[in-house]
Amino acid sequence: MSDPSSARRPSAVRAAARWAARVAVVLTGAYLGILLLGRVPAPIGPFDATLAFRPFGGGAAVDVPPLGALQVDAYDGPLRLEIELNRVDELRAQALATDPARLDGVVDQVSADLRDAVERVAWLTALAAVGGATAASLLVLRRRREPLIALGLSAALVAGTGGLAAATWRPEALSQPTYTGLLVNANSLIGSAQDIMARFDAYRASLEDLVSNVSTLYSTLSTLPPPGADGETVALLHVSDLHLNPAGFDLVRQVVARFDVDGVLDTGDVTDWGSEPENGLITAVGSLGVPYVFVRGNHDSAVTAALVAAQPNATVLDDSAVTVAGIEVVGAPDPRFTPDKDASDAPQSLEQSGQALAEFAEGLPERPAIALVHDPEQAAPLDGVVPLVLAGHTHEREVTRLEGGTRLMVEGSTGGAGLRALQGAYPEPLTCTVLYLDAASGALTAYDEITLGGLGETEVTIARTVVPPAGGQDAAVPQGTPAPPG
């Protein structure tokens, strides 16, 4: 007589194998469905982003190419939320930077955009998982009831995944992200986010007054003596270290128009990281209507330099020369890119860069009038080779004479050091200088130092210095009261 239990054993094995096959098909179909369909494009504040759930094990990751990424261990489960910030929308970024009302609500707007995008990608991912599992079951198992079973299994899988994420949700993890790539250095370069936010309202309010006050500078010119040359004069605007400050770009635009300058000389650090997402504001260079000459700073990448060079009125100097309104200008980039900690930061590389530019200038048929470098340490080899060297980098305005007679003019920060203006107690001013040169000889005859007060200050000042012929001492024109607030 046969044992009933032995007869049931093969049947149970076959049933277990069938369910194992069903689960495998459901998981595979759901996986493929999520990979193929589980992503949505969405605007998040000024960014165009892509959101997707991926089967990589819980939490969330924000990818900011090429800077790196930050990861947040916010929940457990088989799916991780991935957010990739693809590009900055120029129109939304400019509207945000120039409209105080929009700036006030930027956090709420970003939160609302992100919440809406996450909800959409969650629903789409659930449908993709269920649809993929059902389709895979229909194609592989080919039995009439199998798609219904797959539908139930995949729905249970989706519900379980959502329930696990909700049960393990850790909101405190949002304030403790893990950085990778260049973003590892974000805290040290930008400073405390809490301090920046605490000071941002005052900064935004002061910028509105600061930029509007630039127009008052033009009226003060009538009280100043002529630039000092008997013949025709060329006016060139020296700017440096804009560091993505929209107010700095507005300052450049207004000075170009009000002072009727013939060209702009930028000694670098137009960005902070030199990354592609930062480059939205750089296209403002193309709307100035005058030649724009640029040398790359230690915060500017090759991508940044290429974007500047692509503007219709711009020239990027790299041991090369350009003529602006009859004035020959040579320039060399900073050899460093400091956001990349693997790049060489040896002090001798600066001197070597200056030496290479000096050799290039000496090989020209005529001596150039101006040399552009980013770091003042590049200037020493140019002493006696060119009469005027312009630099930036230090965020401190300074005019000195080198031993060989060359004048070194270091600009402050036309962007008020960007976000760094929001650190510490000292308000970084926005500075730029209008240079007046004799059109025939290229000699500097005078310069106007323009200063806009920094954080919480709205004072605008202009100081003219007349440069006598070689051998004389510079003469600062007596200054009255600063230009009044607009």
How many whole angstroms separate alpha carbon 408 and alpha carbon 403? 11
pLDDT value at position 190?
39
- Confidence band, pLDDT 50/70/90 cuts, at residue 481: very low
Averaged over 385-392, what is the pLDDT?
Answer: 97
- Confidence band, pLDDT 50/70/90 cuts, at residue 194: very low
Question: Is the pLDDT higher at 476 or at 291?
Answer: 291
**pLDDT, mean over the chain:** 78
Averaged over 375-393, what is the pLDDT?
Answer: 96
* pLDDT(173) > 50: yes
| CA distances (Å), origin 460, targets 213, 225, 463 | 7, 19, 10
Whose CA is closest to 470, among 367, 359, 384? 384
Whose CA is closest to 333, among 310, 313, 349, 314? 349
Q: If DSSP codes are grouped into helix, strand and coil, which group holds residue 412?
A: coil
* pLDDT(198) > 80: no
- Confidence band, pLDDT 50/70/90 cuts, at residue 480: very low
Q: Please spell the DSSP secondary structure of 239-307, one letter per residue.
A: E---TT-HHHHHHHHHHHHHTT-SEEEE-S--SSS--GGGGGGGGGGGGSSS-EEE---TT--HHHHHH
Ranges 177-191, 288-302, 467-481: which has the least confidence: 177-191
Whether pTM exceeds 0.85: no
Structural domains of the chain ordered from first start: 10-188 (no CATH), 193-476 (3.60.21.10)
Ranges 114-118, 276-280, 420-424: which has the least confidence: 420-424
pLDDT value at position 445?
93
pLDDT value at position 96?
60
- Confidence band, pLDDT 50/70/90 cuts, at residue 29: confident
One-letter amino acid of 150: A
* pLDDT(423) > 60: no
For residue 238 the two structure tokens come to 């020296």
- Confidence band, pLDDT 50/70/90 cuts, at residue 421: low
Range among 67-76, 151-160, 257-266, 451-460 with highest mean pLDDT value: 257-266
Whose CA is closest to 150, among 140, 160, 163? 140
Averaged over 251-265, what is the pLDDT?
Answer: 90
Range among 4-13, 148-157, 251-260, 361-370 with highest mean pLDDT value: 361-370
- Confidence band, pLDDT 50/70/90 cuts, at residue 105: low
How many whole angstroms separate alpha carbon 145 and alpha carbon 125? 24
Cα dihedral value 111, 116, 121, 122, nearest 10: 90
pLDDT value at position 440?
92
Averaged over 71-86, what is the pLDDT?
Answer: 82
